[in-house]
Amino acid sequence: MNEIIDLDNIDLTKEPPLMEPDRQWYYIAKCRELVKAKSEELGRPLYASIITFGCQMNSRDSEKISGILKQIGYVETDTEDADFILYNTCTVRENANNRVYGRLGAQGRLKKDHPGMIIALCGCMMQEATAVEKIKTSYRFVDIIFGTHNIFKLAELLQTRFDSKRMVIDLWKNTDMIVENLPNDRQYSFKAGVNIMFGCNNFCSYCIVPYVRGRERSRNPQDILDEIKGLAKDGVVEIMLLGQNVNSYGKNLETPMSFAKLLSEIEKIDGIERVRFMTSHPKDLSDELIEVMKQSKKVCKHLHLPIQSGSSRLLQIMNRRYTKESYLELVEKIRAAVPDISLTTDIIVGFPGETEEDFLETMEVVRKVGYDSAFTFVYSKRTGTPAATMEGQVEETVAMERFDRLLKEVKANSVAAGKDEHTTQKILVEEVNEQNPGLLTGRLSNNLLVHFKGSESLIGTIVDVFLDESKGFYYMGSLI
């Protein structure tokens, strides 16, 4: 993984190769020539800015995009008047789409003063036909549109745009292709996200992800292990394994392999100190995985286990394939095996047909489980999903009122908050504290943050910190 390709050795007088990733390396080299010429003409580097919306999958995709752009010769910036602007979009909830339209309007006005600017859009929202239609008619200044399945083709699409001067649109409905060995530009030197699978087969009735990210595809275990070994050599100590539903990893591989088995293989890699993963679907969480988490020294004591609703009636309509009772049993089993585990979750309020009784069941689960934190969402109607046409859409005021009550309940019932006060814990030092530059910020195995005094040189290392004081969802500590 990530072998270095010498771009100067690629013969651009030849036709582009047909096989990937060679074809893309060819286009990277070709775009690089153009960018170099343009930059010489302007007497300055060409700048690129990536704006990422949404989840960790998107952040990971943006790292890949950034890797390609850097190889092409762009210098990354975060200003919106760059030469190349890319919006990596999300569509899981309606307001994510609205934010993109808002930003695009302003971007179009900026482009008028920067005629050479190239604006590209990619990500989940681009997999929706209605969104793309709207962009084609109302945002005609956009130069390149691609989706979630063909990120690897960015250089080829850019070259097409350089050649054609027209809006370039390349959207794939689905794919079984996984292209390895392309450039990559990691956001952090000491921790990294690693895709283990793409897509989702679950079709929860409210969720648009299976439609925009396609069917489940697992990466080859050897590719994953090689990538992680490479990261460890580069000094990465913490890995976050990424997938919409990591617990069903490997089911469709030629030689099937369970997620638990993959985790135990990853654990053996020297240099990797911490392994996290997300997201786990409760219906697929196996005893084998619980056993690996119990035995492991490296798998973090944190499990993100989305419940979505505490009402078994709604869970069935949501097509989640577990009940409140089976979820609570699972929680008990996990807590019995890994007593100090921190549990977090996702909850939707205002799903069509949600009654006060259904909602009270969600509140009951929150009290029983004591999540350390919860991502809480007001249901958002996504056209094309089964829930969008269901009867009993909940009034916004009712949903908002439930949302507020839910937040309070989550806060009031957190188990881990404060639990480790006055103990010494290992933390991975991540950054200088944003609010107070005199402090460093690090993360406990259970994902809670700790702020403490220390030298910047500690960033990226795992240190012992005494947790002096709990502040609810974070700690103040001192370096040992």
Interacting residues with ligand 5AD (CB under 6 A)? 92-93, 206-207, 306, 308, 346, 348, 377, 379-380, 382
Closest C-alpha among 334, 397, 333, 332 to residue 368 = 332
452 binds, among ligand SF4, ligand 5AD, none (CB under 5 to 8 A by kind): none
Q: Give dist(CA 207, CA 309) in Å, integer.
A: 14
Residues 91-120 that bind ligand SF4 (CB under 6 A): none
203 binds, among ligand 5AD, ligand SF4, none (CB under 5 to 8 A by kind): ligand SF4
377 binds, among ligand 5AD, ligand SF4, none (CB under 5 to 8 A by kind): ligand 5AD
Nearest CB to ligand 5AD, comparing residues 24 and 279: 279
Nearest CB to ligand 5AD, comparing residues 247 and 380: 380
Preceding peptide of 279 cis, ω within 30°: yes
Which residues on adjacent β-strands are paired with residue 451? 441, 476
Contacts of 63 (CB under 8 A, 6+ apart): 184, 185, 186, 187, 193
Closest C-alpha among 89, 101, 87 to residue 54 = 89
Site string for ligand SF4, 144-183 (x = CB under 6 A): ----------------------------------------
Q: Are 472 and 418 in contact (CB under 8 A)?
A: yes
371 binds, among ligand 5AD, ligand SF4, none (CB under 5 to 8 A by kind): none
What is the secondary structure of 378-404 as a DSSP string? Answer: E----TTSGGGG-S-PPPHHHHHHHHH
348 binds, among ligand 5AD, ligand SF4, none (CB under 5 to 8 A by kind): ligand 5AD
Q: Report the nearest approach of ligand 5AD to the CB of residue 320 (Å).
A: 10
Q: Shortest Cβ contact with ligand 5AD: which residue? A: 346
What is the secondary structure of 117-177 as a DSSP string? Answer: -EEEEEEGGGG-HHHHHHHHHH-TT--EEE-SS-GGGHHHHHHHHHHH-S-EEE--S----
Q: Report the nearest approach of ligand 5AD to the CB of residue 304 (Å).
A: 9
* Residue 200, CA atoms < 13 Å, CB-side half-sphere: 24
Position 209 contacts ligand SF4 (CB under 6 A) = yes
Position 210 contacts ligand SF4 (CB under 6 A) = yes
Helix (H, G, I), strand (E, B) or coil at 88: strand
Closest C-alpha among 87, 93, 98 to residue 61 = 87
Q: Report the nearest approach of ligand 5AD to the CB of residue 123 (Å).
A: 14
Q: Give dist(CA 422, CA 23) in Å, integer.
A: 57
Q: Report the nearest approach of ligand 5AD to the CB of residue 56 (Å).
A: 10
Q: Report the nearest approach of ligand 5AD to the CB of residue 380 (Å).
A: 4
Position 309 contacts ligand SF4 (CB under 6 A) = no
* Residue 359, CA atoms < 13 Å, CB-side half-sphere: 24
Q: Pick the binder of ligand SF4 from 10, 207, 231, 348 (CB under 6 A).
A: 207
What's at 448, amino acid-wise?
L
Q: Report the nearest approach of ligand SF4 to the CB of residue 458 (Å).
A: 36
Angle (CA) 314-318-321 rounded to 5° is 95
* Residue 432, CA atoms < 13 Å, CB-side half-sphere: 6
Q: Report the nearest approach of ligand 5AD to the CB of residue 424 (Å).
A: 34
Nearest CB to ligand 5AD, comparing residues 380 and 446: 380
Q: Report the nearest approach of ligand SF4 to the CB of residue 199 (Å).
A: 9
How many residues bind to ligand SF4 according to rule CB under 6 A?
A: 10
144 binds, among ligand SF4, ligand 5AD, none (CB under 5 to 8 A by kind): none
The number of angstroms, rounded, from the C-alpha of 294 to the middle of its chain's C-alpha atoms is 26
Q: What is the dihedral of CA 360, 366, 367, 373, to 10 degrees?
A: -140
Nearest CB to ligand SF4, comparing residues 199 and 442: 199
Angle 22-42/56-72 helices, nearest 10 degrees? Answer: 60
62 binds, among ligand 5AD, ligand SF4, none (CB under 5 to 8 A by kind): none
Angle 259-267/287-295 helices, nearest 10 degrees? Answer: 20
What's at 30, amino acid-wise?
K
Q: Pick the binder of ligand SF4 from 93, 274, 276, 281 (CB under 6 A).
A: 281
245 binds, among ligand 5AD, ligand SF4, none (CB under 5 to 8 A by kind): ligand SF4
Nearest CB to ligand 5AD, comparing residues 71 and 309: 309
Position 202 contacts ligand SF4 (CB under 6 A) = yes
Nearest CB to ligand 5AD, comparing residues 59 and 461: 59
Q: Report the nearest approach of ligand SF4 to the CB of residue 132 (Å).
A: 21
Residues that bind ligand SF4 (CB under 6 A): 200, 202-204, 207, 209-210, 244-245, 281
